[in-house]
Amino acid sequence: MTESPPGRAQVVRDAQASRLMISGDWTLPHYVQLQHLMATVSKDVDTNTVIDAKNLGALDTSGAMVIAQWLGSARAQELALDVSIPAPRRALLKTVADAMNTYCQPLPRERRSTASILLERIGQAVVSSWKQTLKLLGFIGMVLQAIAATIWRPRRWRVTALVSHIEQTGLDAVPILSLLSFMVGAVVAFLGATALATYGASVFVVDLIGFAFLREFGVLLTAILLAGRTASAFTAQIGSMKAREEIDAIRTLGLDPIELLVLPRVLALLIALPLLTFIAMLTGIVGGAVVCLSVLKMSLSMFISMFRDDMSVTQFLVGMAKAPVFAFLIGVIGCMEGFKVSGSAQSVGEHTTSAVVQSIFVVILMDATAALFYMEMGW
């Protein structure tokens, strides 16, 4: 079977007007030649040129597209009304011209005010925060359910994993937490002494240090440090397992990932964070005492006597009561973000960052709420 010759287009001029004579087969095998042909003759075609396509042969979508591109959508639609062209070819020309007129035009850009864009972003942020809160509450429920299911079954306790995580989250954090608390205690004491010296009340720096570290700074510094150190570690560990499909393998074996991976980490934080909080309180008070002894020339016996007389056990219990709550929230958020990893290294990094940000935000929010509650209760 011989291949048909490509279509032809020729501009013929007579006394009345110029004519574009279209003939032959305008089909896909001749697409390149037809493109060159129309590029050559289109410079001689203007709005007054008459289109004569009565000798048009075979026509498919590619050929109709070439004609519509070079003549324009409007003139192609006019050509589709020429009764000298067979009806199927006219229908194809009209369809292609309509498609060019409808779908090949760039969509107009919607002009929006800055206020509407800002309100939209605020709305999206609120909806995202609400969804995240619901997910967190649901995950907390799953963790509490797993604790209730295993607490009365000692054979299902993962003691080895629990001790390992206590070492990683608690013992390994003691040096950095002690140094941080000592330095903050020294800074608080120095600033307090400088400010109170104006009123001749430098001696009350002891009370400032005691109230600050027993009620707030001890537990808050510990929680923020573990939010950045431990929550990120939990997310990265579980997220890497999720990326390598190890969690799917755990489920395939009939094991519960919450019981296997989450409970040891959360329980380890519940044990480690109160102990670290106590250490932070001690080192912060020691840091303040060093400043009092060196800058205010206060004796050690005087510092201890004032601290013993002015600080009650209630202040210590108020601070320590917040430690288990912070520990539970930090552990749950870190593990939850690990389970949300989609499978790529970028996702692991994004959710690790999200875990740290969420943990610090929740810790500060809960601390502020607790401060208001204690104030109303008179504690």
In the predicted model, residues of the chain with pLDDT beneath 70 are 1-5, 14-17, 44, 46-47, 83, 101-109
* Cα separation values, 159 from 107, 152, 153, Å: 63, 14, 12
Contact status, residue 330 vs residue 230, Cβ threshold 8 Å: yes
Q: Which tokens is 157 given?
A: 């306790």
Contact status, residue 324 vs residue 223, Cβ threshold 8 Å: no
Predicted local distance difference test score (pLDDT) of residue 184 = 93
Predicted local distance difference test score (pLDDT) of residue 15 = 63
Predicted local distance difference test score (pLDDT) of residue 5 = 66
3-state helix, strand, coil in the chain (%, to 5): 75, 5, 15
Q: What number of other Cβ atoms are within 10 A of residue 22's Cβ? A: 26
Q: What is the phi/psi pair of residue 58, to 5°?
A: -65, 145
Q: What number of other Cβ atoms are within 10 A of residue 186's Cβ? A: 21
Helix (H) or strand (E) holding 208, with range, is: helix 205-211
Question: Of 113, 52, 61, 114, which is closest to residue 84 (Cα–Cα)?
Answer: 52
Helix (H) or strand (E) holding 164, with range, is: helix 159-169
* CB under 8 A, 24+ apart: contacts of 137-142: 139/332, 139/335, 139/336, 139/339, 140/332, 142/258
Q: Which tokens is 109 given?
A: 């850009």
User: Distance (Å, rounded) from C-alpha 376 to C-alpha 366?
Assistant: 15
Domain 8-103 is in which class? alpha beta
Which residues, 6+ apart, have CB-to-CB distance to 361 below 8 Å? none
Which residues, 6+ apart, have CB-to-CB distance to 294 below 8 Å? none
Predicted local distance difference test score (pLDDT) of residue 108 = 65
Contact status, residue 7 vs residue 24, Cβ threshold 8 Å: yes
Question: Of 197, 183, 164, 160, which is closest to residue 298 (Cα–Cα)?
Answer: 197
> In the chain, what are the domain boundaries?
8-103, 124-377
- C-alpha dihedral, 16 to 20 to 23 to 26, nearest 10°: -160
Predicted local distance difference test score (pLDDT) of residue 106 = 59
pTM over 0.85: no
Predicted local distance difference test score (pLDDT) of residue 276 = 94
Strand partners, 9: 22
Q: What number of other Cβ atoms are within 10 A of residue 193's Cβ? A: 21
Strand order in the sheet with 18-26: 8-13, 18-26, 50-59
Strand partners, 275: none
Number of continuous H segments (helices) and E segments (strands) in the chain: 16, 3
